[in-house]
Amino acid sequence: MNQVTDPGSSTASVSWTEPTASDNSGPVTLTSSHDPDDSFPIGDTQVTYTAVDAYGNEVTGSFTVAVEGMQFLL
């Protein structure tokens, strides 16, 4: 996922649709390292989601948010 900052800013707000998780054993707890609409600094940041079922089984998924600084053109 790529995003460009506003001119003169060193961060960008990045939004995405959160994943869902389900399991045949019952409820699943879903946690994340970042939330949609968080501000991310220039550079690459990994976002990780972890789903855990009632028995402690877990699975993770991740993606990279890449933020580029906007350059002023004169």
> pTM for this structure?
0.86
Question: Model confidence over 2-49: pLDDT tens digits?
Answer: 998 888 889 999 999 999 999 998 999 999 999 999 999 999 999 999
pLDDT of residue 55: 94
Distance CA 49, CA 47 (A): 7
pLDDT of residue 70: 79
Rounded to 5 degrees, φ, ψ at 6 are: -70, 155
Beta bridge partners of 18: none
CA 61 → CA 13, 23, 30, 36, distances in Å? 21, 16, 11, 15
Mean pLDDT of 39-63: 96
| CA nearest neighbour of 67 among 13, 20, 24, 31 | 13
pLDDT of residue 72: 64
